[in-house]
């Protein structure tokens, strides 16, 4: 009974007490099993020739085994008490589950949309795939169209004509350059002749 509470314990309190007792018994069982492992490890480390030490450990091991067996029985009894306490009306209370209000379209809308996709769009996708497959499997012609051939011929003729004109322009420029160079050389030779005549006259006058 809880402090400050009058009257017999309620069914929920009795169930809680039974669960607490069972939890404590399980903890004791776990500690007893751990202790047994420790004793067994110590016993394995002692040589067979040390009979006195081994006898003491074997006795402790036997007591621990008995304790573990007793705890198993007590836990079984505690399980029965918990089951009996839980069977009492009012011992357990499950709060009502909260009602989740769905925001958005109902589930039927998603189901209808999935059916539309499966029944309409899926066959359309299959038909489109077959069409693409047939188009890809059709033989591809390697012959060039006549219109494109004529256009390429005209382009070739135009390029040849431009090349001929460029060659003519180049020849004209080379001719003009050659003529200009010859005129320059001719003008340079004529300008030097009077200077040479004057020098000769000056030399003849200077002679006695």
Task: Report pLDDT digits (tens) over 52-102.
Answer: 888 888 899 899 999 999 999 999 998 988 888 877 776 665 555 665 655
User: What's the pLDDT tens digit per position in 151-190?
Assistant: 788 888 888 888 888 888 888 888 888 888 887 776 655 5
DSSP 98-150: PPPPP-SS-HHHHHHHHHHIIIIIHHHHHHHHHHHHHHHHSPPP-PPPHHHHH
The helix (run of H) or strand (run of E) holding residue 178 is: helix 146-206
Looking at residue 25, its pLDDT comes to 92
What is the rounded average pLDDT of the residues 8-24?
85
Grouping H, G, I as helix, E, B as strand and the rest as coil, residue 186 is: helix
Distances (CA, A) of 120 to 44, 84, 123, 131: 76, 60, 6, 17
What is the rounded average pLDDT of the residues 111-119?
72
Grouping H, G, I as helix, E, B as strand and the rest as coil, residue 48 is: coil
Looking at residue 192, its pLDDT comes to 47
What is the rounded average pLDDT of the residues 39-55?
86
The total of other beta-carbon atoms located within 10 Å of residue 34's CB is: 9
Q: What is the pTM of this model?
A: 0.41
What is the rounded average pLDDT of the residues 15-42?
90
Looking at residue 37, its pLDDT comes to 92
DSSP 57-109: HHHHHHHHHHHHHHHHHHHHHHHHHHHHHHHSTTS---PPPPPPPP-SS-HHH
User: Cα 56 to the chain's mean position, in Å?
Assistant: 63
């Amino acid at each position: 009974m809880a402090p400050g509470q009058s009257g017999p314990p309620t069914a929920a309190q009795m169930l809680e007490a039974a669960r607490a007792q069972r939890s404590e018994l399980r903890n004791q069982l776990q500690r007893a099993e751990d202790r047994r492992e420790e004793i067994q490890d110590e016993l394995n480390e002692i040589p067979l020739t040390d009979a006195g030490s081994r006898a003491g450990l074997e006795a402790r091991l036997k007591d621990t085994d008995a304790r573990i067996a007793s705890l198993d029985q007590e836990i079984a009894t505690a399980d029965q008490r918990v089951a009996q306490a839980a069977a009492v009306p009012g011992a357990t209370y499950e709060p009502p589950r909260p009602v989740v209000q769905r925001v958005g379209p109902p589930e039927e809308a998603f189901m209808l949309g999935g059916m539309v996709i499966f029944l309409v769009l899926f066959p359309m996708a299959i038909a489109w795939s077959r069409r693409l497959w047939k188009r890809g499997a059709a033989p591809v012609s390697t012959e060039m169209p006549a219109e494109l051939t004529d256009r390429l011929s005209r382009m070739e003729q135009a390029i040849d004509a431009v090349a001929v004109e460029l060659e003519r322009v180049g020849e004209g420029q080379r001719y003009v350059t050659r003529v200009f160079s010859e005129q320059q050389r001719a003008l340079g030779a004529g300008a030097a002749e009077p200077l040479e005549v004057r020098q000769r006259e000056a030399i003849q006058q200077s002679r006695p």
